[in-house]
Amino acid sequence: MTDSSSAPAPQPQPPARPKAALTRHALVMALVAFAAWVFDQLTKIWVVATMTEGQVTDVLPPLLRWHFIRNPGAAFSIGTDYTWIFTIIMVLVSGFLIYLMFRLRSAAWSVALGLVLGGAVGNLTDRLFREPSFGQGHVVDFIAFPNFAIFNIADSCVVSGVILVCLLTLRGINMDGTRASAGKDSTDA
């Protein structure tokens, strides 16, 4: 015979997040990333197949041109001698974004991080599989505006995703879909 008064009282459990929400947000991020990657790769295949390196084609003169180059460096061709470092960074960033994918509870964050992941993987694909060698491949860039860098769809996705992340952060929307409380911010100041 046991004494029921000596048994520890059950502790209340926090409400569990529905598993469907985890799957839905991860799926949204994966689909956005996949769509960005496919669009990026298809445009690069098109450019390589229809243009010669260095070729410039007016699209909407003087605002937009296609200018086919192969970029061994980062943005604005910075670090052209350190291509392998950019490959390692893209692998780490992609891995971290995949880790975050299964923790998201916000559709907006899923889209934003999906764009960043798709863009990172798009350029990583070039680094891994394009000439001159594995891990040191040159990224195909072709979108040119006057007085600006030449870039590609992957770059556009990364920038768009980062802008969305900044907007979500400024609006106080957390990755779990909740809003940052104004009272909490004022007590920290």
Q: Are 110 and 28 a contacting pair, CB within 8 Å? A: yes
Report the alpha-carbon distance of residue 2 to residue 9 in Å, rounded: 15
- Within 13 Å and on the Cβ side, how many CA atoms surround 83? 22
Q: Which residues on neighbouring strands pair with residue 69, listed in sequence order?
A: 141
Q: Which residues on neighbouring strands pair with residue 166, listed in sequence order?
A: none
- Within 13 Å and on the Cβ side, how many CA atoms surround 62? 3
Q: Is 81 among the residues known to form the active site?
A: no
Please tell me which residue in 3, 58, 126, 141 is annotated as part of the active site: 141
Please tell me which residue in 81, 155, 176, 188 is annotated as part of the active site: 155
- Alpha helix segments (H runs only) across 5-106: 19-50, 83-101
Q: Is 141 among the residues known to form the active site?
A: yes
Q: Are 64 and 145 a contacting pair, CB within 8 Å? A: yes
Residues belonging to the active site: 141, 155
